[in-house]
Homo-oligomer: A and B are copies of this chain.
Amino acid sequence: MIVVMKASSNNENVQQVLTFLGKHGLTGHPSEGVERTVIGVLGGVGPSGTPGGIGGINPSIGESIEGMPGVESVLRVSKPYKLASREFHPEDTIVNIPVPYVSSGSVGVGGSEVVMMAGPCTVESEQQLMTTAEAVRKEGAVILRGGAFKPSTSPYGFRGLGEEGLKLLAKARSEFGMAIITEVMTPTDVAMVSEYADILQIGTRNMQNYILLDEVGRTQKPVVLKRGMSATIEEWLLAAEYILAHGNRNVILCERGIRTFEKITRNTMDISAIPLIKTLSHLPIISDPSQGTGRRDLVGPMSLASLAAGTDGLLIEVHPNPDEALKDGAQSLTIEQFRELMPQAEAIASAIGRKFVKA
């Protein structure tokens, strides 16, 4: 941590900062420059029980100093996340998902192979789900997506079938041997959803629902953590850190677009997040071009772009009859469109030396 003093600050201001640091067991080293003094703060001991204390310095100490007289700003030197950081865990994390249908019995997300996850936005009926599952499996999907609990911006929108939807997903798993990914929206549902699902999805609106993060952190279930719609990369990794800190290391990040001033697309997909996450973290990252764009005609190109940028998987909405979908029909591919996408996706994966997991 580095404390930058104002050009107009005086000795007393500097002393007050040094005294405050001392009270918190830290030592400051002032250097006088041409224009201003800066105080370097190194070392220190973190709060017991935290993994190394985030560089030894409690984040709120910096905030308090920022408000002290004569202080211009406080610059942070260390990253605020640790378990999620590649610096402290250089090897790639591979999250294993049991997939009966695959010959090896499981699929690794974050390894050399790319994973296709597809299915309807929302589980609407047995027929809709089974038709879609069979079709996407045939084209190469190994994980089946489908929402049973759905966040809806409007209280009058469709909010999903609930546990009934989970049962249909379990049925599809037993019938087709695919793994199941589905969203969990509240801490008290974690145990129930975990019974039916292979991967718990945390949606964009819940990326900072800390009680929910705590709860999925206490399981060992793989978790797909979607980026909050206005979350910085750092906040996203801090949300992952919540889950990791509770002992669940099976975290997969998912880029799904951020909110910008552009109005034609629902969100602006931040493709650069994919290589950035690979640099900053050891965790796998997948892409959701359906939510990321909100437009069916962009799902294909953004799937290919994600793959070219190094994504570990795709999460794609497919519906046998999107015009009849109860939710997000405009962004769902038809089965035919999904069928056309797969060979293109495989060609891009192959161009960067990867291939899709196959049965």
Contact = CB atoms under 8 A, between A and B. Distances in A.
Interface of A: 2, 4, 6-8, 20, 29, 31, 33-36, 38, 40, 42-44, 46-47, 50, 53-56, 58-60, 63-68, 75, 77-78, 80-81, 87-88, 90, 151-159, 185-188, 205-206, 208-212, 229-230, 232-235, 238, 241-242, 245, 258-265, 268-272, 274-276, 279, 292-293, 296-298, 300-302, 304-310, 322-332, 344, 347-348, 350-352
A180 to B, nearest CB: 21
Contacts of A63: 327-330
Given A6-B87, A66-B330, A155-B210, 10 more contacts: A31-B40, A59-B157, A155-B245, A187-B188, A258-B261, A260-B270, A268-B272, A305-B305, A305-B308, A348-B352
A230 B261 contact: yes
Q: How many copies of this chain does one complex carry?
A: 4
Contact of A322 (B64, B81, B87, B276): B64
A186 B187 contact: yes
Given A261-B261, A275-B298, A210 B151 contact: yes
Nearest to A280: B264
Contact of A344 (B68, B81, B352): B352
A194 to B, nearest CB: 17
A270 B309 CA distance: 13
Given A305-B306, A305-B308, A350-B351, A34 B56 contact: yes
A210 B186 CA distance: 9
Contact of A261 (B58, B158, B210, B260): B260
Given A276-B264, A293-B272, A323-B20, A43 B54 contact: no
